[in-house]
Amino acid sequence: MELLEQRILDEGIVLPGNVLKVDSFLNHQIDPKLSMAMGKELVRLFDGTKIDRVLTVEASGIAIGLTTAFVLGVPLVFARKKASVLMTEPVYMEKVYSYTKKESAEITVLQKFLPAGENVLLVDDFLANGEAALGMARIVEKAGSEVVGIGIAIEKSFQNGHKRILDAGYHLEALASVASLDDGKVTFVR
């Protein structure tokens, strides 16, 4: 997606440890117009797939998850990363190692928001080693539903997640695929 790639080139900052900082439009400040364009593009990429629900992880997946779900006309559910006193009912929980926080978190979804027998699209802001996406996929499968796709805003194709997700047999689409962050420079897959 050219619009997203241009924003990454204009505003992205490469941090040590192969981390791309895009907090001016995706990870802290959010650009609603760009988020809507990303949601529309994800829906186009999964055209022909029946989708009943979108699942993402708080916090940075929510903007793009919301626009995707809005365009599809289906609910968005976000997994929480921290236990909440509001979660007094049965939950699905999976341990996920965070690439940026360097610690494990238990991502949690109330069971009532993931009914069985649905087709679920997973959405996230970044794909690195695939921990978050595969954790969400385990939750959907525990719930008795099917993961019909994984839609990512920015995937770092040189890390493990891309291969792990394809090896597991999921349909993966990314709006921008980064081939390298070497020498502080963003290069896209062509």
**Contacts with ligand 5GP, residue ranges (CB under 6 A):** 19-21, 27, 57, 60, 98-100, 124-133, 161
The CA distance from 152 to 125, in Å, is 6
The CA distance from 112 to 142, in Å, is 13
- Smallest distance, ligand 5GP to C-beta of residue 11, A: 12
Q: Which is nearer to ligand 5GP, 17 or 48 (CB)?
A: 17
The CA distance from 115 to 117, in Å, is 7
Q: Which is nearer to ligand 5GP, 73 or 181 (CB)?
A: 181
The CA distance from 23 to 12, in Å, is 8
- Smallest distance, ligand 5GP to C-beta of residue 26, A: 7
Residue spans of alpha helices (H) in 81-180: 131-142, 161-167
- Smallest distance, ligand 5GP to C-beta of residue 111, A: 22
Integer CA distances (angstroms), 92 to 95, 105, 146, in order: 10, 13, 15
- Smallest distance, ligand 5GP to C-beta of residue 149, A: 16
Q: Which is nearer to ligand 5GP, 20 or 147 (CB)?
A: 20
Among the listed residues 108, 101, 50, 49, the one whose alpha carbon sits nearest the alpha carbon of residue 79 = 108
- Smallest distance, ligand 5GP to C-beta of residue 105, A: 10
Q: Which is nearer to ligand 5GP, 91 or 132 (CB)?
A: 132
Q: Which is nearer to ligand 5GP, 72 or 123 (CB)?
A: 123
For the CA atoms of 143, 144, 146, 150, what is the dihedral angle to 10 degrees? 20
Report the run of H or E that residue 61 belongs to, with start and end. Answer: none
